[in-house]
Amino acid sequence: MTNWNNIVNILVSQSKILKDMTIISAAALVGKTAKKTTSVNESPMITQKKIEEIQVAEKSSPNVSMQTQSTSETIQEILLKLQETIIKDHNETRTDTKEIKEEMKNFKTEVRSDIMKLDGKVDSIQKALEKNENKIKEVEKRTEKMEQEIGKISQQLKMINKEMENSFIQIEMEQAAFYLRFQNVEETKEDNLEMIMAELIAEKLEREKDEILNKLDDVYRVSTNYARRYRLPKEIHIRFARKKVCDILYKIAREEGTQYRGKEIQVLKQVPRRVREQRRDYRFLATYLNKKNILFRWLIPEGMLVTWEERRIRIDTLERAQEFYEQLIGPEESSSKEESESYVQEEEQEKTVEDTQ
């Protein structure tokens, strides 16, 4: 790069030299001007006289001429030095300018090279981006396809789970069909449940007690929320050896009622937990149907079959249950306090907590 400090120093020295020359020239001009002014103002005769005096004075004072000559030589030397300095500075300036041009040329070359490299990198980046975009699109397509397949598999799994759950419910209902629950049977310290229940059932079915004992597989008491809340005796659960005996006893008990030691006995079917949970959502409709004495029966695994206006209506979705409920109530309110209390009681009656055998 150009040494600008040298150029500045050169210009400063030139300025000083010119200033010195100006001072010397001004002094000489002042002397000459003074002489000319004096000569112009005087008369011709006085001027002639002055010239003569000056000539005499010049002859008499050779030192003045010598001084003027010396000053002239000094000025010439200064001018020569100034010329040399100017030439030198000019040459240096040309050299510096040449160097600057060369550096600018090299700089442009480097910049162009860098730009070309950068263009190449940009092209590479663009190609890489396009490649990545294509890969992303392919991945998105694969992901979408996989999501669709997963959705199908999920749907199939839901159907399989539903079928398995329905199968479990069917098995549980088949097992529960051999059970009956008896509420409000008084407890004694020396409870012989099999004998007590055999006598009660034999009387109801008009059979011998020994015959009934042979049809009982298991008899035990169970604590329930409903019994604890209303301070009733623990429920008695009986597993019968034959489902037919269970069904006949349940039908007679529901139609004629059952008593033990002067107290009304409630006979209920055993309902598995899974089924109770599914029926809980339909309880609002079941409560209203019971209130209006509309016949219905529960479906397995879900829903109910309603007999209404000499028609059988199958309801196996909550949406259908809500529509049928609104169709039944018409302008009436959708629920009442009495219905709510009845619902709570019936639901609690169906819940069993722990086998206390």
Query: Is the pLDDT reported for residue 324 higher than 70?
Result: yes
Per-residue pLDDT band at 357 (split at 50, 70, 90): very low
Which pLDDT value is given to residue 13?
67
CB neighbour class for 328 (10 Å; exposed up to 12, middle 13-18, buried from 19): middle
Which pLDDT value is given to residue 351?
42
**Could you tell me if 99 and 2 are in contact, meaning their C-beta atoms sit under 8 angstroms apart?**
yes
Per-residue pLDDT band at 235 (split at 50, 70, 90): very high
Strands (E), the chain: 179-183, 216-223, 235-240, 258-260, 263-269, 296-298, 304-308, 311-315, 354-355
pTM for this predicted structure? 0.51
Per-residue pLDDT band at 106 (split at 50, 70, 90): confident
Token readout for 235 is 């429920």
Q: What is the spatial distance between Cα 243 and Cα 250, in angstroms, rounded to a whole number?
A: 11
C-alpha distances out from residue 133 to 141, 143, 281, 320, 338, Å: 12, 15, 51, 49, 66
Q: Where are the alpha helices (DSSP H) in 177-222?
A: 193-205, 209-214
Per-residue pLDDT band at 252 (split at 50, 70, 90): very high
Fold of 178-270: Alpha-Beta Plaits (3.30.70)
Contacts of 356 (CB under 8 A, 6+ apart): 220, 221, 222, 223, 234
Average pLDDT over residues 202-224: 90
Higher pLDDT, 120 or 176: 176
Average pLDDT over residues 106-116: 84
- The correct CATH number of 274-333 out of 3.30.250, 3.90.660, 3.30.450, 2.60.120 is 3.30.250
Which pLDDT value is given to residue 63?
56
Query: Is the pLDDT reported for residue 239 higher than 60?
Result: yes
Query: Is the pLDDT reported for residue 337 higher than 50?
Result: no
Query: Is the pLDDT reported for residue 356 higher than 60?
Result: no
Which pLDDT value is given to residue 2?
46
Query: Is the pLDDT reported for residue 180 higher than 90?
Result: yes
The per-residue pLDDT for range 47-98, each reduced to its tens digit, is: 556 556 555 555 555 555 676 777 777 877 887 888 888 888 778 888 888 8
Which pLDDT value is given to residue 319?
92
Largest CA distance in the chain: 191
**Could you tell me if 89 and 7 are in contact, meaning their C-beta atoms sit under 8 angstroms apart?**
yes
The per-residue pLDDT for range 1-28, each reduced to its tens digit, is: 445 565 556 656 666 665 665 555 444 4
Token readout for 188 is 């004694």
Query: Is the pLDDT reported for residue 340 higher than 50?
Result: no
Average pLDDT over residues 144-161: 90
Q: Is 352 helix (H, G, I), strand (E, B) or coil?
A: coil
C-alpha distances out from residue 230 to 6, 164, 257, Å: 115, 38, 21
- 333 φ/ψ angles, rounded to the nearest 5 degrees: -70, 155
Which pLDDT value is given to residue 14?
60
The per-residue pLDDT for range 256-308, each reduced to its tens digit, is: 888 888 889 999 998 888 888 888 889 999 999 999 899 999 988 888 999 98
